[in-house]
Chain A
Amino acid sequence: MTTRAARPYLAAFRARFQLVLQYRAAALAGFATQLWWGAIRILVFAAFYGVNAAAAPIGLTDVVTYVWLGQALLALQPWLADPEVGQAVRSGGVGYDRLRPLDAYGYWYVRTVGWMLARALPRAVLMVLAAAIVLPLVGLDDWAWRPPSGVTAALLFIPAFILMTMLAAAVLMLANIIVAASLNERGVNAVLAPLVIVFSGSLLPLDFYPDAWRPFLHVQPLAGLVDIPFRIYFADLTGNAALRGLALQAGWTLVLIALGRFAMERMMRRLEMQGG
């Protein structure tokens, strides 16, 4: 029964995943860019730690891992609305989406997840090769991407990773819906990218921000995209703190999905399609 219910969504996910996975040139270009930026960010951190390491909230080796992990999974960050949605809205393909006997939100959601994962996977594999394997081999051990800090951290990172993906897709769905309602993705992407880069902890781990901001930074939804899962990875968040982090990720994911479903319902009611 459940397999029957899930069958269309799995198929839609698989189709999108397989299709996007074929774009090798995009994956290589993305990897090269992210490797380059990763190196630069690490140099900046190294300079900062060289001046005043005591002021830093986390150690340098953890920050290096934080950077590589972030570069590897950059394509999982929701800073770009799904281009397929913008295209479907302009071409009228949204009409055909409405003709599928599926939950409209779920149908878009799984496709967006497929798109994100297919973009992230090859880049992440290449980044592991480069930052976690090649760097130690050439003697740059201090600048390498380390494995998770212990078995518990590794095990906790699994749900944290799943939740970060689900949360990212829920954020993207809100962006997708705005794109569909406004018929244009530029405005959304322009606002979304800086918000996500700052508030997820992608630019800087959230503990680097001023003390007064932190209570807010640590409970806002975007913290679950980078800061929480990555700190679980290198065991900066452990025990109850780690569980609280997972709960925060899960809670915000549910809230954003509910919000997205509501917004989508309203958007579809207003949907207008003119012409042939």
Chain B
Amino acid sequence: MPQILVEALAKTYRVAERAPGLTGAMLGLVRRRWREVHALADVSFSLEAGELLAFIGPNGAGKSTTVKILSGILRPSSGRVEVDGLVPYEDRVRHVARIGVVFGQRSQLWWDLPVIDGFDLLADIYRVEPERYRRRRDELVAMLRLEPLLDQPVRQLSLGQRMRAEFAAALLHDPAILFLDEPTIGLDAPSKLAVRDFVRRLNREQGVTVLLTTHDMHDVEALAERVIVIGQGRLLTDGPFESLRASVLAERRLHIDFAGAAPELGIPGVTVRARSERSLELAFDPTKIPTPKLIADITARHAVDDIHVDEPAIEEVIARFYDLHDAGEA
């Protein structure tokens, strides 16, 4: 029995529509038209305890809606959801006591209260036993290096500091499942690394099931064994990140610096992506032209200073995947 079960999930919003301008506004007073927006059309997947799953997709794809339904905030239009045997929006109070949620764009701490007061308040709200609370709090404070921040009001924290505090806040009641909605959004590089490192430890060492949404492909690469790509409310693919990369793009890149002027190569199956006076960037499919053979061919005929091979950036893989499925934001 999987820990999270989602079947044929759909969520439809009704949006008031009116013609632009003043006339439109006046008409809207008399007669209002509604348009249906399908945030989620048909999404199914399941997740075992202890898994770490990343949800990716363009803006408006339905990632956040999925998280909000799974966490019990929203109610789907149709479909079935079970988390640890509970239907989140039917059994909200029992369900939310067992999960932790971090929204990268919102704060669950009290703006005017010092961080530690916010933690105390959450411990009361989740009815965490005092002894357990102290242990858990100290553990999280150590893991997230929060000690120097505890006495500061939340409004004085930097975004990176605040996100670390948000993570602690979401985990004080020791939930078995953690939902993260764009947890690294707007963070600087060291803060992103800290968040990734923390999430990984939480998942590997404490066995917390993690479902995260993100636009940052480095999050995915660093964390997730499994990725779901969602676009226009539909599930496009579900599998290991490596197979996603392989299925979309087997391409390799060859960067060459020549001793003299960059020559015309004219090798079939190899395209020139970029050219400067003394260097070329080539793209090729290694299943058709083996990398060592290509390098050997080139170095045999031209004087080469430097040469290296790499893969397309993950962002590019995903952008291409969205194009392939016509899943970009409408």
Residues of chain A within 8 A (CB-CB) of B104 are 276
Residues facing A in B271-315 (CB within 8 A) are none
* Cβ-closest chain B residue relative to A94: B73
Q: Give CA–CA (A92, B101) in the complex, Å.
A: 14
Q: Give CA–CA (A8, B122) in the complex, Å.
A: 8
Q: Give CA–CA (A6, B26) in the complex, Å.
A: 50
Q: Give CA–CA (A102, B99) in the complex, Å.
A: 14
Choose one: A93, A99, A273; the contact of B101 (CB below 8 Å): A99
Interface-forming stretch among A11-19, A75-83, A153-161, A204-212?
A11-19
Choose one: A4, A95, A100, A269; the contact of B75 (CB below 8 Å): A269
Choose one: B13, B110, B127, B181; the contact of A8 (CB below 8 Å): B127
Known contacts A15-B110, A95-B73, A276-B64; A100/B125 CB under 8 A? yes
Contact, CB under 8 Å: A96 / B108:
yes
Contact, CB under 8 Å: B72 / A7:
no
Q: How large is the interface on B (under 10, 10 to 19, 20 to 34, 35 or more residues)?
A: 35 or more
Contact, CB under 8 Å: A11 / B125:
yes
Contact, CB under 8 Å: A7 / B113:
no
Residues of chain A within 8 A (CB-CB) of B74 are 271-273
Contact, CB under 8 Å: A276 / B68:
no
Q: Give CA–CA (A271, B99) in the complex, Å.
A: 21
Cβ of A50 within 8 Å of any chain B Cβ, yes or no, is no
Residues of chain B within 8 A (CB-CB) of A8 are 124-127
Q: Which of A10, A95, A99, A271 has the most CB of B within 10 A?
A: A99
Contact, CB under 8 Å: B73 / A272:
no
Cβ of B184 within 8 Å of any chain A Cβ, yes or no, is no
Cβ of B47 within 8 Å of any chain A Cβ, yes or no, is no
Interface-forming stretch among B50-58, B89-97, B141-149, B241-249?
B89-97
Q: How far is the CB of A114 from chain B (nearest CB, A)?
A: 12
Residues of chain B within 8 A (CB-CB) of A274 are 13, 39
Known contacts A272-B13, A273-B74; A102/B106 CB under 8 A? no
Choose one: A12, A95, A96, A101; the contact of B94 (CB below 8 Å): A101
User: Count of chain A residues with Cβ under 8 Å from any Cβ of B?
Assistant: 26
Q: How far is the CB of A84 from chain B (nearest CB, A)?
A: 10
* Cβ-closest chain A residue relative to B110: A15
* Cβ-closest chain B residue relative to A275: B64
Task: Bits for B8-45, please: 1 = Cβ < 8 Å to A, else 0.
Answer: 00000100000000000000000000000001000000
Task: Bits for A162-202, please: 1 = Cβ < 8 Å to B, else 0.
Answer: 00000000000000000000000000000000000000000
* Cβ-closest chain A residue relative to B64: A276
Q: Give CA–CA (A100, B72) in the complex, Å.
A: 10
Q: Give CA–CA (A15, B120) in the complex, Å.
A: 10
Known contacts A12-B121, A100-B96, A101-B94; A273/B73 CB under 8 A? yes
* Cβ-closest chain A residue relative to B215: A276
Q: Which of A4, A8, A12 has the most CB of B within 10 A?
A: A8
A interface residues with partner B (beta carbon < 8 Å):
4, 7-8, 10-12, 15, 19, 91-93, 95-96, 98-103, 269, 271-276
What are the 8 A-B residue pairs with the smallest beta carbon separation, nearest first? Answer: A11-B124, A101-B97, A8-B125, A96-B108, A98-B73, A276-B105, A95-B73, A101-B93
